[in-house]
Amino acid sequence: MKQVQDVASDTRERLMDVAERLFAERGYSNVPTRMIAEEASANTAAVHYHFGSKERLLEAVFHRRLEPMNRERIAKIKEAMAASGNGRPDVEVVLRAFIEPTLRKPRDDGERAFRLLSGRASTDPNPEVKRILFQAYDEVARAFADAIAKACPELSTEELFWRVACVYGAMLYIRADNGRLQPVFGKEFSLSDPEGALRYAIAFMRAGMQAPPAGPVD
């Protein structure tokens, strides 16, 4: 019985590994379940057996990578809030709590593929992908928005919205690491450099969040 369970578990992991890579390379809508099963050396009905649908498979891929990372992000955001004696947390501490776990150097090819998948999914027009993506990040996004609002109380809601949008844009572009800037600046620079990202990108975001308000306060 245990051997059968181990085989099923191995197959499930292989399906997620392959789906993660193919979704990242080709896009969710361009990858049929048959292709995933074949590349995972599984039965053509394996995706439906283990996950029920391609949509549920994508959910599993996101949950596997994000659940531990988002737990860490939320815990760090709570720590930043608790450390602020006056209820106004430090902007950089909040930014680091939200961003640092996402920019660590990937430990394996799967994590690298997931970074590409996250970047691609953020602009995917497919409503299934949007729903899964928004659901996967909702709790941590709300925790960050609440903390950064308390860190920047002088900003109107509208201005906070646009500045947080810029933070998201920078973070997603770095995570996607499409190589676009290397022909311009040289191959010695890479968005896959976590130390560079944390040193320069967070300093840039902090300065942006702390800049004087551009418009009237609510």
For residue 87, being part of any structural domain is answered with yes
For residue 136, being part of any structural domain is answered with yes
For residue 32, being part of any structural domain is answered with no
Q: Domain with 75 in it: what CATH number? A: 1.10.357.10
- Calpha distance 73→88 (Å, rounded): 18
For residue 77, being part of any structural domain is answered with yes
- Calpha distance 49→128 (Å, rounded): 20
For residue 71, being part of any structural domain is answered with yes
The total number of structural domains in the chain stands at: 1
For residue 89, being part of any structural domain is answered with yes
pLDDT in the model for residue 53: 94
For residue 41, being part of any structural domain is answered with no
Q: What is the mean pLDDT of each run of 10 residues along the chain (218 residues)?
A: 54 95 94 95 92 96 93 96 91 95 77 85 89 93 97 96 95 82 87 85 95 75
pLDDT in the model for residue 168: 92
For residue 217, being part of any structural domain is answered with no
Domain that includes residue 205, residue range: 62-210
